[in-house]
Amino acid sequence: MIDIRQIMQYIPHRFPFLLVDRIVELTSEEAVGLKNVTINEPFFQGHFPGHPIMPGVLIIEAMAQTGGILAFNLAGDLKSEVVYFMGMDKVRFRKPVYPGDQLLLKLKLIRRKGPVFKMKGEAFVEDRLVAEAELMANIEPVKGE
């Protein structure tokens, strides 16, 4: 298990944009992360007042952050490299995500070519698929180092 302090060593995101709370499984082919969705999230003020729903793009971002941890686990140097989100395909939003939900983020490696990774991402609330996408990421040296 990887806790939030360790996650912040893998990826540069910080409040209010750090969207994965814990990694519960990490292998050479898969990462499984958790995101606890609370009413305290800043985006709920405007999305939508009186009917709060987590924006789909932020669900995809939570998947991408989990996938970034998978990529770093396979190839990164935490001290001198950073993972960049490159693209997404086959994005589908299946169900809304509400305050009080817990997102289970499953990222599986499809293929790797050098520093470029393609992953299949799925987000679940309980046993319901709420979103899915294919994501691409690239690991590059940190500029100025």
> Active-site residue numbers?
47
Cβ within 8 Å of residue 96, ≥6 positions away: 53, 54, 130
Burial-class residue 1 by CB neighbours within 10 Å (0-12, 13-18, 19+). Answer: exposed
Q: Which tokens sit at 111? A: 């293929």
Q: Taking the CA of residue 74 as centre, how many other CA atoms within 13 Å lie in the half-sphere pointing to its CB?
A: 27
CA-based nearest residue to 55, from 65, 45, 40, 43: 43
